[in-house]
Amino acid sequence: MNRKFEARLINAGLVCSVILVLVFFYIPIFTLIMFSFKEGRILNLPFEGWSLRWYQQLFSNGEVGKAAVHSFVVAVASTLISTVIGLGAAQSFVRFSFRGKTLFQIVAMAPLVFPQLLLGVVLLLWFSVLGNTFDFSNNLFTAIMGHCVYLVPFTTIIIAVQAASFDPTLEQAAQDFGATPWEVFREVTFPVLWPGVFSASIFAFLLSWGNFYISYSLTGTERTLPTFVFSGMALGSTPLYPALATITFVVGLLLIVFAEGIRRRSLAKTMASPKE
Amino acid sequence: MSHSLEPSRLMVALHALPSVLLQSAFFVVPLCMTIALSFQETQYYQVQWVWSLTTWTEIFTTYYYWKILFNTVLMSLACVGLCAMIGFPIAYALVTRFQKWQATIKILLVFAFLTDAVLKTFGWVVFLDQTGPANFVLNFLGLPDLPDWVIYSRVSVLFGMVYTLLPFSIFTIYLSVDMIDKNLLRAAYDCGASKFRAFYEVTLPLCKNGLMAGALLVFVLSLGSFLEPKVLGGGKNPMAAELIRQTFETRINWPLGSALTIVVISITVITILLASRLLDLGQGRKK
């Protein structure tokens, strides 16, 4: 009796702690969503009324539009680059053995345990020196390179997890049937790794889209959305920023749910295939 | 290795080289240059390429820098402790409870983690503001406003840091708890161990590595906290990252900024080396 009560108490404690942590995580998110529908321009309570006017302003604001385009360009470019590089690195992590592999792994993973702001600062110095020599200043391209350094460890890990469950006999079979290495990759390796590659790219896209620390140092005069919001916060803000945040949240959540759906569908497929 | 393709040199190079090139050109070399830069001098906001120890003497003799570094390490340690204490029960509950809701909760956690850090910090500022929702709810319940020491203080900075870094701790601990072979627990029960006993003797030791890895990750990343002290701390208790930004931005002293960066990175590297030593020792004893 006593033991049963104890077990129930622990159960309730664990469940409650998870719920509390979820609430904790979502407090700022829901606060911003709520304030994006506020009528007045000051971010405080009580509400004078509800309105959609900040969304209207958001879409007619040229600065926001420009920052959004910059964010999008940086995110797409660095997602593509870091996913391709991560795919190669993951394959060499999991499937190849070669000399200097340990060193390769350490260097490839190091940016993951490197404070982001310092990564930005170190790259800022590097690009300034390069810029003096080759005559360029920081722009979206330098930001893309910085994002890639930060993202590749993430994409590598995610794809490596997928590659670890890879059955090499599939490739062997394709090769025995006379497929060229490129055909093996295109017809066998890539389709099998695809779910990992896809979640890695979604992960990379969102991390790049929301990245502040590296963009802050490297975008030069071209602002991305996070740096735009950061400078706007200091000036005393309006519900324009919460409105922007709300749109970001919705798109982000949709992308994550989409990626999870693809992952589960492929998981179901591999589970079901032996029966066919 | 009959089941594995024998990789040709070309194949390995094709796969590994892009990553090697990227990390050398934009991580290793810049880092080396930062070290070199810390041994230069500065005059009229311009770097003079003269090798000297001026910057390092300044760093080792200025109490102010060490105060900030000490504060940063202290805050990071507090953050590590809190993240481990909150992260462990959450990860444990995620693995052992919530069979039906596990996927949904994971998605919610991943989303919270991937969302723009600036927006989340901004959300906290709005929430905790004098006339914001926090006080509104408190007043509604008949309680007084949040005391002064909660917002724009060390408490709120720590709060923000835990908020940002908790997912790292939850994810790493989750992986280690999830990997535990359930048969070990069954064996413990069969030998007559109580639930608590099984937890202390089987579960906890087996996720020690996850706890350590999570703690390490949180510690290293919290050393670089910038948004939280700046936005939630109101600039009253600057931490290392803010000091470094300021040195570059307002004081335009590159050698000094580089040297401070190197100091923080050294703390990171030493911690990682110590931690890997500790983890190895633990594994050695088991064997």
Q: Which two tokens stand for residue B24?
A: 């050398």
* Contact map slice: A 230-259 vs B, CB within 8 A: 230, 233, 237, 241-242, 245, 248-249, 252-253, 256-257
The continuous run of DSSP H or E covering B43 comes out as strand B41-43
Within 8 A of A116 by CB-CB distance, chain B residues are 221, 224
Nearest to A29 among B115, B125, B258 (CB): B115
Within 8 A of A25 by CB-CB distance, chain B residues are 108-109, 112, 163, 166
Spatial separation of the C-alpha atoms in residues B219 and B207, rounded to whole Å? 18
Instruction: Check residue A47 and give its pLDDT.
Output: 78
Within 8 A of A169 by CB-CB distance, chain B residues are 3
CA distance to partner chain A, nearest, from residue B278 (Å): 18
* Contact map slice: B 153-172 vs A, CB within 8 A: 163, 166
H helices of B24-153, in order, are 29-37, 54-61, 63-96, 102-114, 117-128, 133-140
Closest CA to A220 of A74, A29, A86: A74
- The one-character DSSP state at B51 is -
Spatial separation of the C-alpha atoms in residues B106 and B112, rounded to whole Å? 10
Average per-residue pLDDT in chain A?
85
Q: Mutate which of B8, B10, B23 to disrupt the A interface (most A C-beta within 10 Å)?
A: B23
* Contact map slice: A 161-190 vs B, CB within 8 A: 168-169, 171-172, 175, 181
Its CATH class, for the domain covering A62-275, is: mainly alpha
Q: pLDDT of A68-97, one tens digit each?
A: 899 999 999 999 999 999 999 998 888 888
| Residue A99 C-beta-side C-alpha neighbours within 13 Å | 1
Nearest to B220 among A27, A113, A257 (CB): A113
* Contact map slice: B 47-106 vs A, CB within 8 A: 86, 89-90, 92-94, 96-98, 103, 105
Q: Domains of chain A: which residue ranges? A: 62-275
Find where tokens 């000036």 sit. A235
Instruction: Classify B236 as helix, strand or coil.
Output: coil
Nearest to B23 among A108, A213, A233 (CB): A108
Contacts of A128-134 spanning 24+ positions with Cβ under 8 A: A129/B33
Q: Give ipTM to 2 decimals.
A: 0.84
Instruction: Check residue A275 and give its pLDDT.
Output: 41
Is B23 in contact with A257 (Cβ distance < 8 A)? no
Instruction: Print pLDDT tens along chain B (287 aa).
Output: 334 455 677 888 888 888 888 888 889 999 999 898 888 887 776 777 778 888 888 888 888 899 999 999 999 999 999 999 999 989 888 888 877 888 888 888 888 888 888 899 889 988 888 888 888 888 888 888 888 777 788 888 998 999 999 999 998 898 888 887 777 877 887 887 777 777 777 778 888 888 888 899 899 999 988 888 888 887 777 889 889 988 888 888 888 989 999 999 999 999 988 888 877 655 544 43
Enumerate residues 6+ apart whose C-beta is below 8 A from A122.
B30, B31, B34, B261
What domains are there in chain B, each with its CATH number? 55-286 (1.10.3720.10)
Please indicate if any CB of chain B lies within 8 Å of the CB of A126.
yes
Instruction: Check residue B148 and give its pLDDT.
Output: 76
Which ranges of chain A have pLDDT less than 50? 275-276
Are residues A122 and B30 in contact, defined by beta-carbon separation less than 8 angstroms?
A: yes
Could you give the angle at which helices B154-178 and B208-223 cross, rounded to 10 degrees? 150
Spatial separation of the C-alpha atoms in residues A219 and A227, rounded to whole Å? 9
Please indicate if any CB of chain A lies within 8 Å of the CB of B127.
yes
**Residue B94's closest chain A neighbor by CA?**
A18
Within 8 A of B16 by CB-CB distance, chain A residues are 88-89, 92, 96, 98, 104
